[in-house]
Amino acid sequence: MFLWLKLPEGIDTREIFKTALAHNVAYVIGHPFHCDESGSNTMRLNFSFPTLEQIEAGIKRLAGLTIKFIKAKKLFYENCWGRSQRGHLF
């Protein structure tokens, strides 16, 4: 089972990858799945092997890393309610 994740524009999932691995979280960088040179802000997550506890822990670690990365880059994006946010995913 896979989940496709799209992060705010301006984030390159290749930049976060090594840090994620250092925190025992792995994902597939999304860019190679796009034929038009886009998708640098996407990733594919795999949930077919880990336990529910491992999935929850991994998602929390990945979310924390992503939030730090967004704050460091000072990126703006719209949340699900349409309000502009800076560094807040939820």
Note whether 30 and 4 are within 8 A (CB).
yes
Mean pLDDT value across residues 59-84: 74
Bridge partners, 4 (sequence order): 44
Mean pLDDT value across residues 69-75: 80
Q: How far apart are CA 46 and CA 86, in angstroms?
A: 28
pTM for the complete prediction?
Answer: 0.74
Judged by phi (left if over 0) then psi (alpha if -120 to 50, else beta), residue 19 lies in alpha
Beta strands in the chain (DSSP E): 2-6, 28-29, 42-46, 76-78, 84-86
The whole-number pLDDT of residue 86 equals: 52
